[in-house]
Structure 1
């Protein structure tokens, strides 16, 4: 019974995760009937920027704090292990919903590419970014990533170093995909640039902390991997 309830809870969290990812894609593509990066409740640019940065900060703090090993150990004591990861996924999804729902656009255009085939090329790049980001979770363990495996088995997979698929090209393909999706669009407004810039800065900071944790957890195999594989940009020589 406990396993069934945990599995149901994780399944709900996963469905919320899928729904908010679809919304995020539509949000950045500026399509759909709900709030998008360039359509929503209006506010003065300075006010809009303040609200948007506050929303993004809350979302980023959640990710930063709950991703730290010390907090993870506390969560394991406070929350049943079966649903610890699913709870993280659910709360992250709810916070992202708040960002998308309460976003205040700043629709002043920085660039707008309307000529073909370049506009289509940029949309293809946008789609490729999302495919890279989502696909990278399947290149490790998607079920573990979203918390379904833990709910069913009452345990996480042991950390095993693997450098396959895109992970053989860059160390953080998920972040690479998100950066491409944030920036490769045919129309860029100040509001979109604020969203992309703030989360790009957060990704840069987050990678530094994640690298430290991975080196501590996986040891010398990961350090050798890091010496030969760039973090984000394919083909870029890694820093020593």
Structure 2
């Protein structure tokens, strides 16, 4: 996702050789891009649900279940990147040096938050590496714990917050980028809603208290809720 956004920002020029552009007009390009977002977002959300995981475990060994999920998500993301149709209709353009510095600074902050947040919980478990490694070493996996380290005390989903900053922080916003930003933001909101239902089922009242105290995606917007204590 980060590399794809770099291409949209015209930084990732090295990716131009592995993309496919079609002469399908403005409406066709918009429809194809929305379809690509759906191809990425729907499997990403459905495969993360516990009901689907139970079905998947009948086919895929549990130790590589998460790795298989990451593989499918990666394939859909590569598809999104390769077949995305650029639409150069300009929405905004910060031409001043200050405007560009501000936009890129927010981008880097978002990138840092997204990456750091994966390590705050368990980076290697997130990508399915820890599960496979534990299986090879015949190490018993620990029961899931409810943790709220550092960034998680400011926002319930810091990685998603970081990704939102990344996809919106650009000095030059064209229509193609805007479609991506809106589509991915909606996907994040919808996916987070279903994820939180699973978390509430797993952790019960402890998570519900956390949910009432800490904002979902925007830090400091607590809407008069009590701040969670350490």
Q: TM-score, normalised by structure 2?
A: 0.89
Instruction: Verify the 8 A CA contact 2:117 2:158 in the aligned structure 1.
Output: yes
Map residues 41-52 of structure 1 onto 2, 5 A cutoff. Answer: 41-52=22-33
| Structure-1 residue corresponding to 2:208 | 223
CA distance in 2, matches of 1:115, 1:223: 45
| Structure-1 residue corresponding to 2:114 | 133
Gaps of 5+ in 1: 1-20
| Structure-2 residue corresponding to 1:212 | 197
Instruction: Verify the 8 A CA contact 2:5 2:167 in the aligned structure 1.
Output: no
**Distance change in 2, residues 1:42/1:112 (3 Å):** farther
Residue 174 (structure 1) aligned with residue 144 (structure 2)? no
CA distance in 2, matches of 1:98, 1:63: 13
* 189-198 vs 68-77, which moves further: 68-77
Shift in Å, 1:191: 0.5
CA distance in 1, matches of 2:141, 2:90: 46
| Structure-2 residue corresponding to 1:12 | none
CA distance in 2, matches of 1:79, 1:24: 29
Instruction: Verify the 8 A CA contact 1:169 1:234 in the aligned structure 2.
Output: yes
Shift in Å, 1:238: 5.0
Gaps of 5+ in 2: 226-230
Residue 24 (structure 1) aligned with residue 9 (structure 2)? no
Map residues 176-191 of structure 1 onto 2, 5 A cutoff. Answer: 176-191=161-176
CA distance in 1, matches of 2:2, 2:211: 32
Instruction: Verify the 8 A CA contact 1:228 1:238 in the aligned structure 2.
Output: no
Instruction: Verify the 8 A CA contact 1:35 1:103 in the aligned structure 2.
Output: no
Cα distance per residue 1:159-178 (max 9 Å; x no partner): 21011111011001011011
| Structure-1 residue corresponding to 2:128 | 147
**Distance change in 2, residues 1:46/1:25 (3 Å):** closer
- Which one of 109, 114, 121 corresponds to residue 102 of structure 2? 121
Instruction: Verify the 8 A CA contact 1:132 1:173 in the aligned structure 2.
Output: yes
**Distance change in 2, residues 1:146/1:210 (3 Å):** same
**Distance change in 2, residues 1:47/1:117 (3 Å):** same
